Amino acid sequence: MSNTAARPRLLLADEIESAGWRKALEVVPRERFLGNAVYLPDQTRGDLWTPVRRADMSTDDWLALAYANETWVTLVAGILAEDATGIVTGIPGRRPPRPAWLYGYAENAEYDRLIATCSVRTIPLAWTRQVRTGGTITAPMGGWMGGVAFAHLSVDHDGTASGRFLKDDLYFMTARSHLPPPRPPMVEGIGDSRGSRIDPSLLQDNQAAAWVAQLAVPQAQHSWNADTTFLIDVGTGSRADASPDPAGGWTVHQHGRVRLWDEIETAIEISQKAGRPHQSGFGLTVTRERQWVWLGDQDGPSWELPA
């Protein structure tokens, strides 16, 4: 044990207070497993991660971080902390759940409850088939713009499932097949321009607003650069950017078949008129043919998921 690392290792061993783990905590060089950088979580939004690098810290500060009683994240949205050039939006994980996990476990079906420990964009139909009538499916759901919601569904006799989202903003690693595709660099100022009716910072600062925007354009990805919000739909090549106008308000540029900002504005305004509800103000219905999220009740405004 080096003299520099000795004290933080002993402090961690004292904090854990486990006779079984103490020897390992005293001798394992935890700092060697962190690589050269880790992500720090945002204190207000669970999908924003800031990389911190060993080269930018003193040895004492890096060791204090390494031996803190914390789980440090090194990979978010497929980007290693040491490769990140700024804040990254996404869900952390080392090994995203494999597609096979999305098929459930038919051998012992039917189940009273199915609880997912990976996040999904849509509910796999295998899950609805493996839960008995009256049983429940509880699953964290996310998307490509970082919006998250926690679904709790009841399965009906015809195999459909429906229910509301819970008040907990819970998520896990995203299933591998539900991750977004690689996206090209974001470029500002392409396409037609006009004023924006909503503040683009909503997508960055408000988790419920990010959820609503994601419902409107589920194939879109986003990022930020200074005061500019970027959107791109890799499948269609559609893109948009929005930034403050020096004269006041905000200017948006749009290009492509899907008018990304138009769709987001409409959805955000619907949510605002409904009182800006939390995700728990929405519900989800799953059938063999389609899946859709509704606001208020099943007859309210709704958005199709990419099932």
Q: Which CATH number fits domain 99-178+277-304: 3.10.20.740, 3.30.1600.10, 1.20.1530.20, 3.40.50.150?
A: 3.40.50.150
Could you report the per-residue pLDDT of 173-232, keeping only the tens digit for each? Answer: 888 889 888 888 888 899 999 999 999 999 888 889 999 999 999 999 988 887 899 999
Better-scored residue on pLDDT, 174 or 122: 122
In 3-state terms, the chain is what percent helix, strand and coil (to 5)? 30, 30, 40
**DSSP β-ladder status, 111-115 and 131-142:** parallel
d(CA 87, CA 234): 21
- The winner for highest mean pLDDT among 19-23, 78-82, 147-151 is 147-151
* Residue 1: per-residue pLDDT: 43
Cα distances (angstroms) measured from residue 299 to each of 158, 177, 235, 288, 307: 20, 31, 30, 19, 20
d(CA 289, CA 307): 8
Could you report the per-residue pLDDT of 8-49, keeping only the tens digit for each? Answer: 777 777 777 677 777 777 777 877 877 899 999 887 766 789
Q: Which range, of 195-209, 270-284, 288-302, averages the lowest pLDDT?
A: 195-209
CATH of domain 192-273: 3.30.160
DSSP secondary structure of 62-125: HHHHHTSSS--B-EETTEEGGG--S-EES-B-SSPPPGGGGG--GGG--EEEEE-SSBBSS--H
Q: Which of 74, 85, 86, 67 is nearest to 39 (CA)?
A: 74
Query: Which 8-state DSSP code applies to residue 205?
Result: H
The mean pLDDT value for 236-252 works out to: 94
Q: What's the whole-model pTM score?
A: 0.69
Cα distances (angstroms) measured from residue 194 to each of 153, 240, 251: 41, 11, 6
* Residue 127: per-residue pLDDT: 96
Instruction: Compute the mean pLDDT over every residue in the chain, rounded to the nearest whole number.
Output: 88
The mean pLDDT value for 247-275 works out to: 96
The mean pLDDT value for 132-155 works out to: 95
- The winner for highest mean pLDDT among 67-71, 155-159, 205-209 is 155-159
Asked whether the beta carbons of 293 and 277 are under 8 A apart, the reply is no
What does the domain layout of the chain look like in residue ranges? Answer: 3-89, 99-178+277-304, 192-273
